Every structure is written in structure tokens, then in C-alpha cells.
């Protein structure tokens, strides 16, 4: 009975810690994918002198495998000279939706309470 109690206590400590570790990995992958998409957007700007198609229509993000469907990626806003990319988690985690714009400004919105800061989330903690 003592062994079962010790195992239960260890499991109660280990499982949440492991879950947080896995979520940090998913967040790191989402950030890497956002940076790949931002690089692709910059390439499109170099070719077209715009963050839009030559005919003025919106660009579509290329398909980039992030190892699963943990985040949904999209161009949230795009003009000829600006863009904002977002990565929305499914399901939600503490950092919420990551954002990255054409100037390199990083952001997070809509995370679980207590809300994490941009520095905490983008630093991979």
C-alpha cells in the first residue's frame, strides 16, 4: 500500500511537469513555423514589391508541416507594405495565439490565466 501511495505522489508531480514540457515543444515548433512563413512573405515582397499577389489579391501561406495540427496558421492582415501572421493553438495553452508582423514585432494574445508575457512565450519557457 505504501508503494502505491509513493507511485501516486510521484505521478501527480511528474504528469503536469511532462505536459508543460510537451507544450513548450509545441510552442517552439509554432514559433519556428511562423518564422518560416515570415521568411516566405519577405521573399514574396522581394519578387512582387508587395505582400499581395501581383493582381492585388491576398497571398495564401504555403503548407508547412509542424508535426501535427496543434496550431492553425494564417495571414491575419496583409497590405502592399505590411503583414501580420498568427498561429492559433488547438487546444488553447497558456500563451494563446502567437503573432508576428513584417517589422518583426512578436505578440501573444488570448492565453489561459494567468496570462504569459511576450518575453516568456517567445523565449520558449
Tens of pLDDT, residue by residue over 20-63, are: 888 888 888 889 999 999 999 999 999 989 998 888 888 888 87
Please tell me the total number of residues recorded for the chain in this structure. Answer: 125
CB environment 33-71: b (16+ within 10 A), e (fewer): bbebbbeebeebbeeeeebbeeeeeebeeeeeebeeebb
86-113 pLDDT, tens digit per residue, is: 999 887 788 889 999 999 999 998 877 6
Distance, in Å, from the CA atom of 37 to the CA atom of 91, rounded to the nearest integer, reads: 21
Q: Is the pTM of this model over 0.85?
A: no
Q: Residue 89 is inside which H or E element, if any?
A: strand 83-89
Q: Does pLDDT of 77 surpass 90?
A: no
Q: Where exactly are the structural domains of the chain?
A: 1-123
Q: Point out which residues pair with 83 in neighbouring strands.
A: 78
Amino acid at each position: 500500500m505504501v508503494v502505491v501511495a509513493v507511485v501516486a505522489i510521484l505521478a501527480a508531480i511528474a504528469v503536469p511537469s511532462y505536459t508543460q514540457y510537451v507544450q513548450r515543444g509545441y510552442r517552439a515548433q509554432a514559433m519556428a513555423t511562423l518564422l518560416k512563413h515570415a521568411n516566405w512573405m519577405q521573399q514574396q515582397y522581394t519578387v512582387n514589391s508587395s505582400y499581395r499577389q501581383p493582381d492585388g489579391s491576398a497571398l495564401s501561406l504555403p503548407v508547412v508541416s509542424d508535426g501535427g495540427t496543434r496550431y492553425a496558421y494564417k495571414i491575419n492582415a496583409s497590405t502592399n507594405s505590411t503583414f501580420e501572421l498568427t498561429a492559433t493553438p488547438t487546444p488553447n495553452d497558456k500563451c494563446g495565439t502567437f503573432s508576428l508582423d513584417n517589422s518583426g514585432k512578436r505578440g501573444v494574445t488570448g492565453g489561459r490565466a494567468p496570462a504569459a508575457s511576450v518575453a516568456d512565450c517567445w523565449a520558449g519557457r
